């Protein structure tokens, strides 16, 4: 167990938890009960199984804990120990069925990849959401990577990275997906992703050289190859920092995001104060409890509107999709936003 015997019973983790804030401790007792107390003292596994998948894996509790207890990891360990013996939520069942049928967490609507470039040493890994639902993210990401001078391709035959299965606690299915992806991805020197959940999984789970696109465009290629349209109308923009990016991949990605936005003409940043608060998409919360994930996203959208933003952006297709479900404000995934201001060859 990741250091749970160091618990001071201070409840800082509970106060930091956005799911507790949204639905209350009576419905989700929070990280201390699920990840620290339950494994050591009970309550029963049946009672814990009722709430163990209500966490979005945002890692705010880890930041708040004075003893630096690995609460999200302890939560995942709890899920992995429960998974073989409990009936998961209907949305999770659907996800597992899709993995078994298609190798993707969602039903595919299009075939992706296949055009190979002889020199390409960089693979773009679109992940389930950008390849099948937020397709503009994949297209804009590829456009930006090419505009920045990267020789990149989308390999055919890729399946889900396995991150949703790690979050569910299903290690067996996850290993099968990883084996299939590794056979393809180990042919490349570098993997680039748009989805931070995929980035974390490819780095930590697979041990690959994988970078999120915000890192790649700032640390590897730079943005000099990109030309922007001058005189564009100003955008009052709120930023949502995806949890799996700003806490999972690392806090440096917040600076990388702002670095990229500073290149785009006409961006007027609006400070909301809740930029790093979870939108509810991650950790299998959206698939298991779409109503809770929707309420958390709506809270963020309301805050952006209250602060005068006209658009909200996130460097994560999954967060963008969840925020968009609420309506009320335009949501643009980061590469979509940047591409909308890009000047393509021959354009003035």
Q: Which is nearer to ligand SF4, 126 or 283 (CB)?
A: 283
Tell me which stretch binds ligand SF4 (CB under 6 A): 61-69, 134-142, 265-273, 310-318: 61-69
Distance CA 143, CA 85 (A): 45
Rounded to the nearest 5 degrees, what angle is found at the Cα of 209, between the Cα atoms of 227 and 184?
A: 100
Assess 13 for contact with ligand SF4 (CB under 6 A). Answer: yes
Q: For residue 302, what are its two tokens?
A: 């309301």
187 in helix, strand or coil?
Answer: coil
Assess 65 for contact with ligand SF4 (CB under 6 A). Answer: yes
Assess 165 for contact with ligand SF4 (CB under 6 A). Answer: no
Q: How far is the CB of 56 from ligand SF4 (least distance, A)?
A: 4
Q: How far is the CB of 29 from ligand SF4 (least distance, A)?
A: 10
Is 160 in contact with 127 (CB distance < 8 Å)? yes
Draw the binding track, 17-36, toward ligand SF4 (x: CB under 6 A; -: no contact). Answer: xxx-----------xx---x
Query: DSSP states of 104-166 as a string?
Result: SSS---S-------TT--EEEE-HHHHHHTSHHHHHHHHHHHHHTT--EE--TT----SHHHH
Q: Which of 52, 61, 277, 304 binds ligand SF4 (CB under 6 A)?
A: 61
Q: How far is the CB of 70 from ligand SF4 (least distance, A)?
A: 10
Q: For residue 135, what are its two tokens?
A: 């397709």
Q: Which is nearer to ligand SF4, 75 or 261 (CB)?
A: 75
Is 329 in contact with 303 (CB distance < 8 Å)? no
Q: For residue 157, what are its two tokens?
A: 């035959």
Assess 226 for contact with ligand SF4 (CB under 6 A). Answer: no
Within 10 angstroms of residue 304's Cβ, the number of other Cβ atoms is 26
Assess 56 for contact with ligand SF4 (CB under 6 A). Answer: yes
**Cβ-based neighbours of 140, under 8 Å, separated by 6 or more:** 333, 335, 336, 338, 339
Assess 170 for contact with ligand SF4 (CB under 6 A). Answer: no
Comparing CA positions, the residue from 172, 3, 170 lying closest to residue 74 is 3
Backbone angles phi, psi at 55, to 5 degrees: -95, 140
CA 275 from centroid of its chain's CA atoms: 14
Assess 46 for contact with ligand SF4 (CB under 6 A). Answer: no
Q: Which is nearer to ligand SF4, 75 or 177 (CB)?
A: 75
Tell me which stretch binds ligand SF4 (CB under 6 A): 4-12, 143-151, 217-225, 333-341: 4-12
Q: Which of 33, 53, 59, 277 binds ligand SF4 (CB under 6 A)?
A: 59
Q: Which residues bind ligand SF4 (CB under 6 A)?
A: 7-13, 16-19, 31-32, 36, 55-61, 64-67, 69, 71-72
């Amino acid at each position: 167990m990741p250091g749970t015997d160091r618990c001071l019973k201070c409840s800082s983790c509970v106060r930091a938890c956005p799911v507790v804030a949204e639905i209350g401790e009576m419905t989700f007792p929070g990280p201390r009960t699920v990840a620290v107390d339950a494994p050591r003292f009970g309550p029963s596994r049946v009672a814990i199984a009722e709430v163990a998948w209500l966490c979005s894996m945002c890692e705010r509790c880890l930041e708040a804990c004075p003893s630096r207890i690995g609460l999200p990891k302890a939560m995942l360990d709890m899920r992995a120990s429960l998974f073989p013996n409990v009936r998961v939520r209907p949305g999770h069942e659907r996800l597992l069925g899709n993995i078994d049928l298609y190798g993707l967490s969602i039903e595919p609507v299009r075939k992706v990849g296949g055009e190979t470039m002889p020199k390409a040493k960089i693979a773009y890994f679109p992940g389930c959401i950008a390849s099948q639902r937020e397709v503009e993210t994949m297209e804009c990401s590829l456009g930006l990577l090419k505009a920045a001078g990267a020789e990149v391709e989308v390999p055919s035959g890729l399946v889900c990275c396995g991150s949703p299965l790690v979050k569910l606690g299903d290690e067996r299915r996850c290993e099968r997906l990883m084996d299939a992806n590794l056979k393809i991805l180990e042919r490349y020197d570098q993997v680039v992703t748009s989805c931070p959940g995929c980035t974390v999984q490819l780095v930590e789970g697979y041990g690959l050289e994988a970078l999120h696109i915000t890192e790649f465009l700032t640390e590897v290629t730079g943005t000099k190859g990109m030309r922007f349209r001058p005189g564009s109308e100003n955008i009052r923009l709120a930023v949502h920092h995806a949890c799996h990016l700003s806490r999972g991949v690392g806090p440096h990605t917040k600076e990388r995001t702002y670095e990229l936005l500073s290149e785009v003409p006409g961006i007027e940043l609006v400070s909301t104060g809740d930029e790093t608060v979870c939108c509810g998409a991650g950790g299998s919360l959206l698939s298991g409890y779409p109503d809770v994930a929707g309420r958390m996203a709506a809270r963020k959208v309301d805050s952006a509107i209250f602060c005068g933003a006209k658009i909200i952006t996130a460097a994560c297709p999954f967060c963008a999709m969840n925020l968009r479900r609420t309506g009320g404000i335009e949501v643009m995934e980061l590469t979509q936003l940047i591409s909308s201001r890009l000047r393509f060859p021959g354009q003035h």
